[in-house]
Amino acid sequence: MIHKRTAAFSRSVVYCKELVRNMSELIKHSVYVTRSDMPNVGIDLLKRECNVKIWDKPSPVPRADFLKEVVGTNGIYCALTDKIDKELLDAAGPNLKVVATISVGYDHIDVHECKKRGIKIGYTPDVLTDATAELTLALLLSTSRRLPEAQHEARTGGWVSWAPTWMTGPGLAGSTVGIVGFGRIGQAVARRVKAFNTSRILYFNRSERPEAKETGAIKVSFDDLLKESDFVICCAALVPETKEIFNKTAFDKMKNTAVFINTSRGGTVDQNALIEALKTNNIRSAGLDVTTPEPLPLDSPLFKLKNCVILPHIGSASIEARNIMSELTANNILAALNGKEMPAELK
């Protein structure tokens, strides 16, 4: 008799435990992650507290699936390849509390529509500044000193002998560098180019930046920057005011020896105007980490130009930066869902 009661009691304990487990699963927040190859560190953090559903391929979730997968979710962990617009927010519905992107750029998110619905937005400023500034310098030097072209020549028999004027390009020392967009990344680029003994650093920005004192960078008009710079570097966020700011008029104003570098967004450039400027040697060369569209189609005229170096949007792709970005994205989501202050909320 006692034995039977004990057995019944144990069964009820097991049942209760199961019930509690199911209940807590039910009250856990749900988060949708838009691709399978997000760095583990952030995803593991999310999994500890949330029901996490992940698109099962290492490529952006197709739009039609995205619209279905987000229905009822509380949080979205996305990347710059995922468009978060009215249609997507409607599909997700009223349970959506937070959208966090693993990027500092947020031009893929309809900020106004999110704010209207009280949906918080998380992003990843600061943690990728060094990585992006390093890549900007790498691209600048690769473009000016023609590294991809030189590498190609060395591998394909073009290296016949050392030659005094072969594979030459402009040096940074003594040059004027113009930086368009003097936020965190623009300033980090300025600190780095200064170490190359440049003669002047100019910048163009909506507001004067007190941080410019550190590098002696001088605020000038956009036109003056274009006219006076040997290297023009675009670090500006893509907003309506910067859309195709580098157009035919801008390229016409630049020196025909100028090197143009873009590590912000392809949308800041009128790409046809750039192609024309490169083809006609209206500017010397361009280094692009960002294009329109992305990926850039293989038949793009840009790929045919020797004076253009193209990278596949890898500005923040240091291992360290990507891991911290993933952690910050997860922590943004967890904080928003738990009603706490987000470590990096887009206000």
Catalytic residues: 313
* Mask for 120-149, x = binds ligand DGY (CB under 6 A): --------x---------------------
User: What's the CA gap between 121 and 286, in Å, rounded?
Assistant: 34
User: What's the CA gap between 278 and 288, in Å, rounded?
Assistant: 13
For residue 177, the SS3 value is strand
Nearer to ligand DGY, 105 or 267 (CB): 105
From 9-17, 26-34, 103-111, 113-121, give the range in contact with ligand DGY by CB under 6 A: 103-111
Structure token pair of residue 344: 């990096």
Nearer to ligand DGY, 122 or 258 (CB): 122
Nearer to ligand DGY, 172 or 288 (CB): 288
Beta strands in the chain (DSSP E): 29-33, 50-54, 75-78, 98-101, 120-122, 176-180, 200-204, 218-219, 231-234, 259-262, 285-288, 308-310
Instruction: By CB under 6 A, tell whether 316 contacts ligand DGY.
Output: yes
Measured from the CB of residue 259, what is the shortest distance to ligand DGY in angstroms? 21
User: What's the CA gap between 305 and 9, in Å, rounded?
Assistant: 78
42, 75, 105, 267: which one contacts ligand DGY (CB under 6 A)? 105
Instruction: By CB under 6 A, tell whether 315 contacts ligand DGY.
Output: yes
Measured from the CB of residue 162, what is the shortest distance to ligand DGY in angstroms? 39
Measured from the CB of residue 315, what is the shortest distance to ligand DGY in angstroms? 5
103, 143, 175, 271: which one contacts ligand DGY (CB under 6 A)? 103
342 CB-contact burial (10 Å; exposed 0-12 / middle 13-18 / buried 19+): buried
| Contact between residue 318 and residue 134 where contact means Cβ atoms under 8 Å apart | yes
Measured from the CB of residue 79, what is the shortest distance to ligand DGY in angstroms? 8
Q: Which residue shows structure tokens 């900020």?
A: 111
Size of the site for ligand DGY (CB under 6 A): 7
Crossing angle of helices 147-155 and 129-144, in 10° steps, is 60
Nearer to ligand DGY, 80 or 84 (CB): 80
Crossing angle of helices 129-144 and 319-337, in 10° steps, is 150
Crossing angle of helices 40-49 and 319-337, in 10° steps, is 20
Nearer to ligand DGY, 185 or 277 (CB): 185
Instruction: By CB under 6 A, tell whether 332 contacts ligand DGY.
Output: no
Nearer to ligand DGY, 186 or 315 (CB): 315
| Contact between residue 225 and residue 180 where contact means Cβ atoms under 8 Å apart | yes
Nearer to ligand DGY, 103 or 242 (CB): 103
Q: Which residues pair with residue 30 across a beta bridge?
A: 51
Measured from the CB of residue 149, what is the shortest distance to ligand DGY in angstroms? 26
Residue 294 is classified by DSSP as: S
* Mask for 276-295, x = binds ligand DGY (CB under 6 A): --------------------
* Mask for 70-99, x = binds ligand DGY (CB under 6 A): ----------x-------------------
Q: Which residues pair with residue 218 across a beta bridge?
A: 202
From 86-94, 102-110, 136-144, 329-337, give the range in contact with ligand DGY by CB under 6 A: 102-110
For residue 5, the tally of other CB atoms under 10 A from its CB is: 9
From 55-63, 101-109, 149-157, 273-281, give the range in contact with ligand DGY by CB under 6 A: 101-109
Alpha carbon 275 to its chain centroid, in Å, reads 23
Measured from the CB of residue 39, what is the shortest distance to ligand DGY in angstroms? 12
List, in order, residues 6 or more apart from 48 with CB less than 8 Å away.
none
Q: Which residues pair with residue 177 across a beta bridge?
A: 201, 231
Q: Applying CB under 6 A, which residues contact ligand DGY?
A: 80, 103-105, 128, 315-316
